[in-house]
Amino acid sequence: MSRQNTDADFTKKGSTGRILVVMAREPDEFQRRQVAEAEAEIVRLFLDSYAKWLDAVGQRGTNGAELVSRLTELVRQDLAELKERSNLLYREERTRKPEVKPVEVVFDYLVGAIYHHILKLREVAFQLHSRTPPVDERTGGPEKALLATWRRLVERTRAEFDDGVQVAEEFWRESFEILERLISLCRENPHVIRALIEREAILGRAYRDGGLLGVLRRVYDGRPERGFALVAGELARSGWLEEARSAAELGIRLVPASPELEALLSELRSRQP
């Protein structure tokens, strides 16, 4: 029997043209799956945005044009889509998920704060790296005073940019704390945990206290193997046996001597591709 849409359903496309979320007053299994996938996409976009942020600010002091270019791409593409998807899932009245938790609303506010702050920071970076001396530095007389004023202006702009980077880092740090609480709410969602596992390297850059393994330990109350088993099991049920084995193998590498993962990997290896 085909699924019938009702007037309570609402479908919206984002700036990329992809369906963001479908929601009804009382969601069925299809809609719950849509929410689960939307939650995972938000986690992916957040972590990918953070990685691009680190890459962008890594250009500071070496390549001004590249810094501006990367910040522009980050704001116009990754952060813009993250902000849109987060707003639709957690705050927009017609599309938000049922029973939105306060921590999800706070996360959405932080995403918006990061977006608007880095947007302004991009403008500061552009001003800093597009200015050239108004006169030749060898110029003497009254024109030399203009050069001194210009230098003071550049130094103020550079200080403004450096301060802005520090504020952005504080926003990111607070957001990662809230993100971990979001993940705890979604710990039975294999799409979300898979998004984390696939971004192990990014989590290593974001969390100094254990990276991916540290996050899963806290989310699963000291039993991180549960996250790997959840993802491997879901991948196997979907017919992705090779990916399921890889998830289980990664879990065993990070959580040695886990009977649960060893038994799962043995069972996965016995299956025919």
Cα–Cα distance for residue pair 31/36, rounded to 1 Å: 9
Q: Which pairs count as long-range contacts for 46-50, CB under 8 Å and 24+ apart, including other chains?
A: 46/82, 46/111, 46/175, 46/179, 47/195, 47/196, 47/199, 47/202, 47/203, 47/206, 48/78, 48/199, 48/202, 49/74, 49/78, 49/79, 49/82, 49/114, 50/172, 50/176, 50/202, 50/205, 50/206
Considering only 112-121, 131-140, 143-152, which range has the smallest mean pLDDT? 131-140
Kindly give the residue spans of alpha helices, DSSP state H, lying in the chain: 29-57, 64-73, 80-90, 102-130, 143-185, 190-198, 200-206, 211-219, 225-237, 241-254, 259-270
The full set of domain ranges for the chain reads 9-186, 188-273
| DSSP at 240 | -
Q: What is the mean pLDDT of residues 165-172?
A: 96
* Cβ–Cβ under 8 Å, residues 33 and 152: no
Cα–Cα distances (Å) from 218 to 49, 72, 98, 194, in that order, read 23, 35, 26, 16
How does residue 121 score in pLDDT terms, banded at 50, 70 and 90? very high
Q: How close are the terminal C-alpha atoms of the chain, in Å?
A: 31
Considering only 24-28, 114-118, 180-184, 200-204, which range has the smallest mean pLDDT? 24-28
| DSSP at 56 | H
pLDDT of 78 higher than 80? yes
At 137 the pLDDT is: 63
Q: What's the pTM value of the predicted model, to 2 decimals?
A: 0.84
In Å, the largest CA–CA distance within the chain is 86
- Output 9 or 37, whichever has higher pLDDT: 37
The pLDDT > 70 percentage for the chain reads 86
* Cβ–Cβ under 8 Å, residues 47 and 195: yes
Highest mean pLDDT among 11-25, 134-148, 177-191: 177-191
The per-residue pLDDT for range 17-62, each reduced to its tens digit, is: 444 444 444 557 888 889 999 999 999 999 999 999 999 998 887 7
At 15 the pLDDT is: 45
Highest mean pLDDT among 7-11, 21-25, 135-139, 186-190: 186-190
Looking at domain 188-273, which of 3.40.720, 1.10.10, 3.10.50, 1.25.40 is its CATH number? 1.25.40
The pLDDT > 90 percentage for the chain reads 67
At 102 the pLDDT is: 95
